[in-house]
Amino acid sequence: MAIFGIGARYETDVTQDFLSRGVACVGWAEKDAPPAHAILRQLRTGDLIFIKSWTPQTGLTIKAVGVVKEGRPQSVKDLGVGVPVQWVWSGEVRIGKLEDKWPVRTVALYEEQHPLVQARVIALLLDKS
């Protein structure tokens, strides 16, 4: 099992679309964002995923946590390519700035490596926040 962070900011915030449609998606075409699509293909059934936002001023915020239901990317109308997700928790938890030299939190999709963030995601999933 791995834990992935995904952004839901296209031209507008599509967090509610992800939640209501039970998906997590990459909005760019593969030709425009090959690394994001490569990571999307790495997601497996049972992996944890969280919707995140990140700004230099506030750092990392977790907006939703779920479990990947099927690790097979598919086209999702109006949202791009994504995987089905059972969203378990939604809200807003600010983690803040992390001094870990892991400069990936600004990208659309990445595997989270920080133990504090991983523990917080799991706590939210288990509703022990």
Query: What tens digit of pLDDT does each residue of 42-88 get?
Result: 999 999 999 999 988 999 999 999 999 999 999 999 999 999 999 99
pLDDT over 90 percentage in the chain: 88
pLDDT band for position 14 (cuts 50, 70, 90) = very high
Tokens of 40: 């999307």
Mean residue pLDDT of the chain comes to 94
pLDDT band for position 128 (cuts 50, 70, 90) = low
Residues 1-26, mean pLDDT to the nearest whole number: 96
CB 52 within 8 A of CB 28: no
CATH no., domain 3-125: 3.10.590
What are the sequence ranges of the domains in the chain?
A: 3-125
